[in-house]
Amino acid sequence: MSDTHEIFDLGRQALHDVEQRLGLSRREYLQFCATLAVTMGLPKGAEAAVAKAIETSKRPSVIWLHFQECTGCSESLLRAEHPTLEKLILDVISLDYHETLMAAAGHQAEAARKDAMKANKGKYILVVEGAIPTKDNGNYCKIGGHKAIDLVKECAADAAAVIAIGSCASWGGMPSTGPNPTGASSVGEVLGKPVVTIPGCPPNPYNFLATVVHFLTFGKLPELDKLGRPKFAYSRLIHENCERRAHFDAGRFAMEFGDSGHRQGYCLYKLGCKGPETYANCSTLGFGDAGENNWPVGCGHPCIGCSEKGVGFTKPIHQVAKMLNVTPPLQYPRIVEEQGKGATFASAAAVAALAAAAAGAAVMLTRNLGLSHAAQEAERAKEGAASQDQTKV
DSSP secondary structure string, 127-188?
EEESBEE-GGGGTT-EETTEEHHHHHHHHHTT-SEEEEESHHHHH-TGGGSTT-TT-EE-HH
Q: Are residues 93 and 179 in the same domain?
A: yes
Q: To 10 degrees, what angle do helices 205-218 and 46-56 make?
A: 80
Q: Are residues 357 and 258 in the same domain?
A: no
Q: Are residues 169 and 89 in the same domain?
A: yes
Dihedral over alpha carbons 102, 106, 112, 114 (to 10 degrees): 140
Domain boundary among 207, 222, 248: 207
Pairing relationship of beta strands 125-129 and 132-133 according to DSSP bridges:
unpaired
Distance (Å) of CA 364 to CA 250, 296, 325, 370: 10, 28, 15, 10
Sequence letter at residue 331: Q
Q: Are residues 313 and 376 in the same domain?
A: no
Q: What is the CATH number of the domain that holds 284?
A: 4.10.480.10
Q: Tell me which residue of 153, 147, 64 sits closest to 109, measured CA to CA.
A: 64
**Three-state secondary-structure class, residue 224:** strand
Q: Are residues 89 and 185 in the same domain?
A: yes
Q: What is the CATH number of the domain that holds 82?
A: 3.40.50.700
In a domain, 385, yes or no: yes
In a domain, 230, yes or no: no
Pairing relationship of beta strands 161-165 and 196-198 according to DSSP bridges:
parallel
Single pTM value for the model: 0.70
**Cα–Cα distance, 98 to 86 (Å, whole number):** 13
Q: Tell me what pLDDT residue 45 has.
A: 66
Q: Tell me what pLDDT residue 81 has.
A: 73
Q: Are residues 253 and 307 in the same domain?
A: yes
Q: Tell me what pLDDT residue 351 has.
A: 47
Q: Are residues 106 and 175 in the same domain?
A: yes
* CA dihedral for 383, 389, 390, 391, sign (positive or negative): positive
Q: Are residues 114 and 169 in the same domain?
A: yes
Distance (Å) of CA 286 to CA 180, 243, 278, 297: 32, 12, 16, 11
**Cα–Cα distance, 77 to 72 (Å, whole number):** 9
CB 326 within 8 A of CB 358: no
In a domain, 135, yes or no: yes
Show pLDDT as tens, one digit a residue, over the chain (393 residues).
Answer: 444 444 444 445 555 665 666 666 767 767 767 766 766 666 666 666 666 665 655 678 899 999 999 999 998 888 877 667 777 776 777 888 998 888 888 889 899 999 999 999 999 999 999 999 999 999 999 998 899 999 999 999 999 999 999 999 999 999 999 999 999 999 999 999 889 999 999 998 889 888 888 887 788 888 999 999 999 999 999 999 999 999 998 889 999 999 999 999 999 999 999 999 999 999 888 777 666 678 899 989 999 999 999 999 999 999 999 888 765 555 555 555 555 454 454 544 554 554 555 455 554 544 555 545 555 666 667 777 666 666 555
In a domain, 121, yes or no: yes
Q: Are residues 336 and 272 in the same domain?
A: no
Q: Tell me what pLDDT residue 48 has.
A: 67
Annotate 300-338 with b (16+ C-beta within 10 A) or e (fewer): bebbbbbbbbebbbbbeeeebbeeeeeeeeeeeeeeeee
Domain boundary among 292, 308, 325: 325
In a domain, 117, yes or no: yes
In a domain, 218, yes or no: no
In a domain, 100, yes or no: yes
Q: What angle do CA 115, 118, 124 make, to 5 degrees?
A: 100
Q: Tell me what pLDDT residue 10 has.
A: 45
Domain boundary among 325, 341, 372: 325
Q: Are residues 278 and 336 in the same domain?
A: no
296 upstream amide cis, omega within 30 of 0 = no
**Cα–Cα distance, 272 to 144 (Å, whole number):** 42
Q: Are residues 267 and 343 in the same domain?
A: no
Please tell me the total count of domains within the chain.
3
Q: Are residues 344 and 310 in the same domain?
A: no
In a domain, 171, yes or no: yes
The domain in which residue 360 lies consists of 327-393
- Max CA-CA distance within the chain? 94
